[in-house]
Structure formats: structure tokens, C-alpha cells
Amino acid sequence: MPGQLVECVPNFSEGRDPAKIDAIVQAIAAVPGVALLDRQSDHDHNRSVVTLAGAPVAVGEAAYRGVEKAAELIDLTRHRGAHPRIGAADVVPFIPVEGVTMEDCVRLARSVGQRIWSELKVPVYLYEAAAQRSDRANLENIRRGQFEALVREMGTVAERDPDIGDPVCHPTAGATVVGARRFLIAYNINLDTPDRGIADQIARTIRTSSGGFPCVKSMGMMLASRNLAQVSINLTDFERTPLHVVFEAVKREAARHGVEVVGSEIVGLIPARALEMAASYFLQCENFRPELVLERRIAAVMENSSVAECAESDVRTGLTPKD
């Protein structure tokens, strides 16, 4: 585990042409020190989502290379798809994972945004934690009316002025939204009822927009294959509203309806910290801290492996069980 780790999840407006998608992915993966974690393309959305991680400088470079390749290959005037978009490279969020702050990611977003404008002449909007105007924290405000509206309104409607660059839409690559946000955990909880209404009610109880927990998006769904209702959850800041808090709340609310939780599933990836928090909570652990995790400790020692330093800290912690 390197000392500093940033994740980036750029979204590109091409989900059908494998040659173009591959070229973008390869431009990203070619940057040394970058780990390509995932790639997904959706034909209906006509959109691809790439997940990469690494040290901040490498990830910033790789994100830029992807945007550059997308601007070269994608022509938004010919793009049709179900998913809203304003740019060839549509959204580029940076996410702190390890040893970096949200402020570091905001700085990274702004510097990559600056480069996108100055080298590619694609104007840039800054969103979420990197937003410079409060109405731009929310991506949907920026994307309203999509590329087509942006082309008409940029330069005319002052409210459409980008955060970086001149108010001139790139003729084929549109504009790009760059920002910084927390890691998003996607998590579903299955109920032993075919009554979707119950899942809907539970979703309303827990989600932020209906007065529930902070940083929770949620809706009821049907798991058709098993004829079960499901509470589908996005946690946008699991340090503020932890996974286990939401799970326990769903369990309690389900019990009020005489319904039980039969299982749950993690969609995509989950940070180790979220699992550690859950384990520590359920085990009622009084002294838990991440440094107690063997692998973290090994990684930390491997990094700054000064004998003196280690010896000193170890005298304090006093850890080892004996044979």
C-alpha cells in the first residue's frame, strides 16, 4: 500500500465503440504508477466508466491523458445515449483513499481542470468538494439541459460560465466537470417480503432527502429473480454515516413491518476502513484503531522503516502475545 492513494472515476461519453473505449483506457493505463481497477461500458447509456488509483501525481496525469484522448476521439454532436452528459470526458472525480485529504483532492481537481482548459480548450466546471459556487456542488445543476443546452447558452447566459476557461463550449468535446468527492459505497439490503412498498418506506426513513441520515441516498427496488424487495443504498460519506448504522436502521425499520433482513450485497468496491468500522461496532471493541490491523502496521513500518523509530513506537504499544 503506497503512502498516498487517490482514486479517480472518469466517465466518458462512449459506450459502444470498443476501439475508442480501448484507446481511452490505454491512454490512462499507460501512465506509470497507475492501477486500473475497473472499466465498464454501457451500450444504452453510451457511456464508459473507468476506475483507477495510485499516487496523486500519477492519477492526475492519467486522468488528463484520458480526457485528452476522449476529446480527440469523441464527437458529442453525434452522441446519443440514455445518460445525461455535457462532455466527451463528462465527469472526473478525485477521491481520497489513503494518506491524502479532501483538500489534496480539490487541489488536484483544480490543477487537472486548469490543464484541460489550457491544453485542450475544453472549459471546466468544478463540482462537489471542488465547487467554487455552492449551486455547482451538485452535478445535476451543472449538467442541466446537457451538451445541447450548453452549446446554446454558454457565452450568452452568465450563469453558464465555466469555473476554468472561457465561456466557449468545445465544438465536439463540450465541457468537462472535474471535482473531488468522498468514496461512494453502493450497498443493497434484501428483505424477506415481495412487498416493494415496505422497501420504499424504509428507504424514505433512512435517506437524507426525506430527513433521514446525512449522506445517504436510497430507494426501494424489486429483486425480480428472488421476488424480494430490496433497499438500495448509496453512502456518499461512510465516515459520517457508517455502513453499520444504516444496516441496523434498516433492520429495525423492517422489524416494525414484521419483515426480516435476509441478506445484503456490496456493489463494486468497499474501503477497508468501512469494514473495520463495522467489525469494531458489532464486536463492541473498546480499543479499536486502524493501527491494530496487522497489514496496515506492516505497510506503515515498510514505508518508513527506520529501526530506531520502530523500536521507540513499539516500546509504547507493547503488543506481542508470547510463545
Query: Contact with a second copy (CB under 8 A): which of 102, 149, 222, 270?
Result: 270
Distance in Å, CB of 109 to a second copy, minimum: 13
CA of 16: how far to CAs of 21, 77, 81, in Å?
Answer: 8, 16, 10
What is the spatial distance between Cα 195 and Cα 189, in angstroms, rounded to a whole number? 14
The CA-atom distances, in angstroms, between 204 and each of 197, 209, 219 are 11, 8, 7
Q: Is 296 in the site for a second copy (CB under 8 A)?
A: yes
Assess 197 for contact with a second copy (CB under 8 A): no
By CB under 8 A, name the one of 53, 126, 133, 152 that touches a second copy: 53
Q: If binding is defined by CB under 8 A, does position 4 make contact with a second copy?
A: no
Query: Does 55 engage in binding with a second copy (CB under 8 A)?
Result: no
Q: How far apart are CA 170 and CA 176, in angstroms?
A: 10
Q: Between residues 157 and 279, which has the closer beta carbon with respect to a second copy?
A: 279
The count of residues interacting with a second copy (CB under 8 A) is: 86
Q: What are phi and psi of 104, to 5 degrees?
A: -60, -40
Of residues 231-250, which lie at the interface with a second copy (CB under 8 A)?
234, 243-244, 247
Is 45 noted as a catalytic residue in this protein?
no
Instruction: Report d(CA 258, CA 192) in Å as an integer.
Output: 10
Instruction: Based on the shown chain and the rule CB under 8 A, indicate whether residue 225 belongs to the binding site for a second copy.
Output: no
Q: Which stretch binds a second copy (CB under 8 A): 102-110, 115-123, 203-211, 280-288?
A: 280-288
- Which residues from 167-186 bind a second copy, rule CB under 8 A? 183-184, 186
Q: In this structure, are residues 233 and 218 in contact, taking their beta carbons and an 8 Å threshold?
A: yes
Pairing of strands 89-98, 176-180: parallel
Out of 79, 83, 170, 257, pick the active-site residue: 83
Q: Residue 115 is placed in which grid cell? A: 490543464
